[in-house]
Structure 1
Amino acid sequence: MTAPASPRLSAGPAEDTDPQPATPWAKFTLLYAVFFLMGAEMYLVSPLLPTISRDLHSSTTAAAALVTSYVLTYAIAGPLFGVWADRVERRRFITGGVAVFLVGNVLCALAPTLPTLIAARAVTGLGGAAAAPAIWAHLAEASAPAQRGKAVSWGASVYSLGQVAGVPLGTLIAQLSSWRWPFAGIGILLACTVPVLATRLRGPRPSGGRGWAAIVRPWGDPRIRLGLLATALLQAGRLGTYTYAGVLFSRRFGFSLGSLGLIGLLVGFASVAGSTLTGHLVDRARRQGTHEIRLAIGWALVFTVGVVVAVSTTTLWLSLAGLFVWFVAGGAFYSTQQAYLSTVDPTQRASVVSWNNSMMNAGIAAGTSLLGALTVGGAGFATLAGAFGVAAALCSAGVVLAGHRRTVAEGTS
């Protein structure tokens, strides 16, 4: 069956033609709560990595596969789920994905060996790949156009807020009992949300309805293609490097498990600050007719400075300052990307966002693997982390250039 052609895209993000009188902030609260728990679970692995590796009698490098299994599963399944999510009611994917995510966390809590724990994290990644793109798409299409940047960026902010409250609390629980209990707690809380999602979440049926060839359609547009590559590169530096933050701060500065939980607090607060700030900047840029990806270029360069300083200095306060800048800029970059890519083509909203999330996780997997082959905190480690940021800035500049070329081409046609 031949898929109908996509509508012609403009140089900047497209807006929906249907009027949206008000943003349903109250209905978004439950979705933000799910993002909070997903964010807490995602970032919880880093501070627990040394404890898990000791308890399961494995090396730190082997235990780092807990991150890789999650992100690779997400990266592979995301685009398939994204196309499917553009053809059925969002509620089905959100509810089903959250249910799988909570099952994965329960399996993590019960895993007796490292291989079974890695497999459980893959199940968790599968649930995230199903639920998250549908949530992002729902936030974008149900919000008022003038507040779309804020609605999406608040999702990213709450996701990061999971670090601020969830990671330190999870680390404290692990310190007082076992690393298994934080995963069990997240599973229990998510179990409370599933019935509410299934009965209360409502929204229009997506209008995608295209064939499975739409899986690769986003890559045909250079504005989307370069944006996806920028996401992968920045997240390879941002979260690929963060995978080894616990190792770095415990070895270089003698941090205990409790102190590493405070690192998670700092990182989460920085990410929340960057994401929240970006929502207002993106909405203002759109009102002024400025391409919001220009913001992403600047954030990528600021990230580069922060990550290089954080991992290379032997001065504690300077390393912490660099870490803060690293995650303010990284959070701002991610929110800008999500706001842009969730609106660039409304007919394949979930598909584009799922590709963005998949590229983010593919970037994390690549960054974790490549950086893991280097000496943590060494010159090569810092250089590669910074190079990811510079490359992301160049790809973002390409997005702006591609948009300008589209404008010129449409003006002369």
Structure 2
Amino acid sequence: MKVIVIGGGAAGFFAAINIAEKHPDYQVTILEKSNKLLSKVKVSGGGRCNVTNARTKPSELVPFYPRGNKKLHPLFKTFTTSDMVDWLNQRGVETKAEDDQRMFPITDDSQTIIDCFLKEAKKHGVTIIQNEALTKLEQQNDRWLVHTKATTYEAGKVIVATGSSTATWKVLQELGLELTPLVPSLFTFNIKDPRLQDLQGISFNQALVKVTGTKLEESGPLLITHWGLSGPAVLKLSSRGAYELADKNYRFDVIINFTGALKPDEIRKHIQEYAEANPKRKVINYPLFELPKRFWERMVDHCGIGAKTPFMELSKKHMNKLVEELGQGRYAVDGKSTFKEEFVTAGGIKLSEVDLSTFECKRFPNLYLVGEVLDIDALTGGFNFQACWSAGWVVSETFEI
């Protein structure tokens, strides 16, 4: 049996390795359009590879998938995050869970995962052909013809795992498969505001971000960047609101609580209590709420509080302004920024087109779709990778011996 896996990314490699391991008599080939393999694995988690998540129960996982959601519950019962941890461990890769339940290789190096996959592929005889871009899929009786720019391959089974590929979606649409509209997911907010200028690199352990005029809000770590705001809070928000924010053409206002979840009255009370205990201390020199010093100085200055003003002399006007900026700061978003290597797309081939117990196309026998080519995407935290691992495993389990 010849099996062709289209796409040399996470989902493609994992499916290919497991198929080749379980069916040593199969000829498994990966076709990758570029000269790079596992590029998203390489950059994930800032180069550490957020390989999965410490949550193990399907009921805990599905809320992190804005598209797919409850339909994925059976998938994670079959192969969940702990199964992936065991899979890696059996192949010499130890992992660790961080406080936010993201999991990384213990080496904190994505190359550890890449080396593992390449080693396993070689061990089980997987052929890897690079610079082979898919141009057409053709069903011929019980066989598939895979056309690339250079040649044509014949296979008994084909697995499409190309991720966010406009060219692949076009090929699949030409077959007759239906596509859910595509919009970016997991992007950062472009904000040009003097309050954030030259503060890039400053982060907040916990912040609450709301999109005005909507029900969209998310909490989590927040990061000031050269172009605006990023970090888990913003990335989660961009994922959940992918379609709603696209409709706004990525122009909207956000309200940010830099203290986390404190209400205005609680912020005010804390400042007043500190002022009573430390009346002569200069406001600008003593950041409250564990806020970064440079950010606190910027907020104090923006509120018109003088550099020599002690806490005891904070006027009602200045107090009100400071409470507002810290707990309900309003910022105008004008556009988004995405990282090409980490780009995630909401949308894809409709889940109704595949049998989610096998990931085989309902109308096209022996054609399988896994990973982001489907209308499945998740919040940041290792969840997108886990969808790839689970689908790749399920496909390998369904192949007949």
Q: TM-score, normalised by structure 1?
A: 0.27
Structure number with the bigger relative contact order (C-alpha 8 A, sep ≥ 6) is 1
More strand by share: 2
Larger radius of gyration, structure 1 or 2?
2
